[in-house]
Structure formats: C-alpha cells, structure tokens
Structure 1
Amino acid sequence: MPKQKSAARSTSIAGLLTATTLVLALSGCATYDVTAPADARADATASADADAKNGDAKNGDGTKSAHASDVDCDKAKCVALTFDAGPSENTNRLLDILKKEKVHATFFMLGKNHVAERPAEVRRIDAEGHELANHTWSHKILTDIKPAEAKRELSRVQDAVKKITGKTPKLMRPPQGRTDEDVSRVSKELGLAQVLWSVTAKDYQTNDSALITKRVLDQTERDGIILLHDIYKGTVPAVPGIIEQLKKRGYTIVTVSQLLSPAKPEPGMVYRP
C-alpha cells in the first residue's frame, strides 16, 4: 500500500508565493506544483485583503463563500483526518465513532469493489458531513499508465460518486502518493486537487491497533494530514484512542478542505504539509 515518494517541501516567499516546482528522482525527472496548507491559507487571506482594499470583495452581504469553513486553522491547531481505499465492511463502524466524537474526515474512496459495491456507505459518508474524495477506480499507479487511462481511473469515480450523491469530488489522492506533470494535468482537467500526507501509520503492515495509534501520535504536528485506511481490521479500533489523544493535545480535527480554508482547493495542485 502507499509509500510516498520523497520530495522537497515547498517554501513560501514573503508569505505570498506558495507554489514551487518539485523535482522527483524516479524514472527521469518529473515535476509538479505543490503547496502546504498554511501557505495556501496565507495566499487566500492576502488575496481577500487585497480585494477588500480595492473594493472587489465577494460576499459583501456578510455571507460565507461556498468553500468557507467554520474552523479557522490559522488560529486553531488543526489536523486533517483522512481515510483511503474504502468504503468497506468497517466503514459504518468508523462512521459511528466519528459521529459520537463529533469529528469529520475526508474519505478518499476507491471505485471498484468499494464505491460500486457500497453506495449506502457513500451516501452515509456524505449525509453525515464528511468529505467525499477520489482514490481512483482500481488503485493503479497513475505515473505508470498513460494519461488517458489515468483520466479514466479518476473520472469513473467522479461519475459514480455523483450518481450516488449528486456531488462530484474536488480532491483526489494518487495511489502511493505518486504524481507527476501528466497526472497533475489530468487532475486539473477533471477539477481535482491532489492531496498527499504527512502522517502515516502504515496500517497496511499491521493490525496492531496500539501500534497504529502510537505511530499517528508520534508523527502528528499542526497542519498535518493523517493517512489511515478503513479497509484494515486494526485501523478502526485505533480511531477512538487517536481522536481522544489528539483532542487532549489541543488539536482540532478537520477535513482537508477545512484545513485549507479560506483557500479553495486548486485543480491540479498538490497539497502536502
């Protein structure tokens, strides 16, 4: 399961220039634009301030924009909780836990054998306020296939989720975190921002819930993105303890879009803490 390729983290120039080009050493040099959540927020705030100064502010009636969040992650110590590769037979139990804890997460869902077989869980994820996101149809490594096939891998999930919920995902996570210029271009065409992670429990290697909990807590820092999988039997039992300890440490647990707000996820962009 996911092994993230190493990449240099983006830097912000004077708090305004957030996107930089990364060079990945794999088979030749592939490049893509990446930004950190804190930098995305800073850019959006600076842009809004400039618009207001110039008299171009939107939503002047005091209403929130469509992508606004009720959590201010510039003030709160936020961390995004995400789950890959579901829904599965464990998802309803996970949703029960999240509902009890009043926590919302982002679900990067697979199409084949998951979304296609469990539309009720997809509807419940949406109905309970969680974020619907795309993890491809069959978990093919997008950098290893032609762009046209990569587009099909993503668009099939887009279509399936829209058919079930009436909503089209705005975020995607490439399998194993592997992306490049071609994947970014396809993502942009489909209106999808790419989301990587900073915390992984490697729960695909163990069913030890205590170890999964420890790995998450050891790695989590402010503005982090936690990667878990609701398809493995050791993961969901770890979630209550993870949430409890994160809350004790002062974290506000949010979706990816809440973490980025007031920035709106930019299609094609790669977001990584």
Structure 2
Amino acid sequence: MSDADHSTPAASKPDVLKKGDGADDKNGTDDKNGTDDKNGTNGKNGADGSVDCAVAKCVALTFDAGPSGNTPRLLKILKQEKAHATFFMLGRKHIDRHPDLVRRIADEGHELANHTWSHKILTKTDSDEVRTEITRVQTAVKKLTGRTPLLMRPPQGRTDERVSKICRELGVAQVLWSVTAKDYQTNDSALIEKRVLDQTKRDGIILLHDIYKGTVPAVPGILAKLKKEGYTVVTVSQLMAPAVPEAGKVYRP
C-alpha cells in the first residue's frame, strides 16, 4: 500500500468550498467549533491572527501522510516564512512514530487533521473499519495535543454517501483539493514547484506530501512565488472562516 493520494479526488456531491458556508450564530463562530485549543486549530489566522480571506487573496496549504523525518525541515521553513498549513496526518508509522512532531505541529500554530490510521480506501472498507480508521487518529491526536481534528481527508480522495454518513457521526468534515503536484511521481523539486504554481488560484487548496524527498525542498520557492503573486497562505479552516466545516460534508474548491 502506498501512502500517497494517487488519484483525482472522487466524491459524492462535493460542496464547493466558500467562505461563509454553514456559518450562523449557532455554529459558525463560537468557541466550540474548531477555533480554540480543544480542536484541530489554535484559533490563529495567518501569521498575525488577522487574515480575512473574504478580502485577502488566500490559498490553503496542506500536507498529507506525515509526519515524517522530513517534517522538522518543513516546519522550520513554514516558521521562517510565517506561513501556516493543515497537516492531514496518518496514524500507523507516522503519528505513532513521531509523537513529538505532532505536538510541534500543534505548538507552532498549524492545523491538525486526519488522514486515517493506515490509509485504507474507505469506499472499499466495511463500516466498522472505516470508523476505526478515523477514530484511532482522533484519539491519538487528542491524547498528544488536547485537540480533536475537525477535518479528514479520505485516502485518494475516495468517499461516498456511506463514508459521509460515518464522518457525520464522528464529527469530521471531508476536505479534498484543487491543486496537486503529484509529488509521489517525482523527486524533482523544480517540477513540483512548477506544478503547484501553474494550478494555484484564489481560494484553492494545495495538496503536497512531506514524506517525499523532493517536496520539502520545493516549499521555499512555492511560498516565495505565491507571496510575490499576492497570496496569503493559510490553513483550510482559515480559508473557510467565519464558517466552521460541517461534519459529514465533502468540501472541494
């Protein structure tokens, strides 16, 4: 089994990600939903806590299938560039092997998210095992950081009505992507950078994997060029704010 998301995301009736979706006085802006230290993000928006993606030209940066031995270098780069990202983390051989990195990701202001325990294709997995794949990560992250992820990215972007119903029961929204460098295909950092920049549009979601050799070296160039083009790099939840992701829904830019 590969840890990569090797296919175009396939989902049942995905919701177009728009800032303000699902936001109201009951569930869009209170401290019980993803905006305090009990959940997957620490409440900071951007580097200085003030970004408004309804005004700013934002793009969300996401990393799948870590943490790994490459993650410390990535975190150093993100800190230097004052950028935040959403980390969709795998459990087996990642969260369980790198608990200190999970804590560091949280401590440095990034968003903690779920990529299942062992990267099983959820649409081909029985319902009880789907629940286990998701809840094991939720439990592990909560134990390590005190925060429970609100977002889950299904392996290979594959989901359906059954998986969505289970996600609704478990309190997680599903997040796909609009930009992929297919960094599982190449170690060429320049090519990874080019693929990202060629596809990026406002309010998009970039998918990268910090487990691959060529990815992290591409990040400084990606961030520099995005900044030059006027982008603010944010987490998924920051991109959606003031809305809060709705459990069970599938979001794709």
Q: 1:212 aligns with which of 183, 186, 192?
A: 192
Aligned equivalents of 1:42 and 1:138: distance in 2?
A: 31
Q: Which residue matches 2:239?
A: 259
Q: How does 1:40-59 map to 2 (within 5 A)?
A: 40-41=19-20, 44=23, 47=24
Aligned equivalents of 1:225 and 1:135: distance in 2?
A: 16
Amino acid in structure 2 at the alignment position of 1:41: G
Give the deviation of 1:189 after TM superposition: 1.1
Aligned equivalents of 1:89 and 1:222: distance in 2?
A: 31
Moved more, 147-156 or 67-76: 67-76
Residue 228 and residue 5 in structure 1: after superposition, are their counterparts in 2 closer, same or farther (change >3 A)? closer
Q: How does 1:87-236 map to 2 (within 5 A)?
A: 87-236=67-216
Contact 1:187 1:268 in 2 (8 A): yes
Q: Which residue matches 2:222?
A: 242
Deviations 1:160-180 (A, max 9, x none): 111111111110000000000
Alignment partner of 1:36 is 2:16: yes
Aligned equivalents of 2:13 and 2:174: distance in 1?
A: 10
Q: Which residue matches 2:59?
A: 79
Aligned equivalents of 1:96 and 1:174: distance in 2?
A: 27
Residue 149 and residue 254 in structure 1: after superposition, are their counterparts in 2 closer, same or farther (change >3 A)? same
Contact 1:95 1:125 in 2 (8 A): yes
Q: TM-score, normalised by structure 1?
A: 0.82
Larger fraction in strand: 1
**SS state at 1:188 partner:** helix
Deviations 1:199-237 (A, max 9, x none): 000000000000000000000000000000000010000
Aligned equivalents of 1:104 and 1:118: distance in 2?
A: 20
Give the deviation of 1:6 after TM superposition: 6.1
Aligned equivalents of 2:29 and 2:182: distance in 1?
A: 43
Contact 2:237 2:245 in 1 (8 A): yes
Aligned equivalents of 1:187 and 1:107: distance in 2?
A: 18
Contact 1:33 1:269 in 2 (8 A): no
Identity %: 66
Give the deviation of 1:5 after TM superposition: 4.2
**SS state at 1:94 partner:** helix
Give the superposed CA RMSD.
2.2
Aligned equivalents of 2:206 and 2:16: distance in 1?
A: 14
Q: 1:270 aligns with which of 213, 232, 250?
A: 250
- Specify the structure having the higher radius of gyration (Cα): 1
Q: Which runs of 5+ in 1 are unaligned?
A: 8-23, 25-31, 52-56
Aligned equivalents of 1:6 and 1:255: distance in 2?
A: 19
Q: Which has the higher contact order (CA 8 A, sep 6+)?
A: 2
**SS state at 1:228 partner:** strand
Q: Which runs of 5+ in 2 are unaligned?
A: 36-42
Contact 2:29 2:244 in 1 (8 A): no
Q: 1:2 aligns with which of 2, 5, 15?
A: 5
Q: TM-score, normalised by structure 2?
A: 0.88
Residue 193 and residue 96 in structure 1: after superposition, are their counterparts in 2 closer, same or farther (change >3 A)? same
**SS state at 2:129 partner:** helix
Give the deviation of 1:182 after TM superposition: 1.0
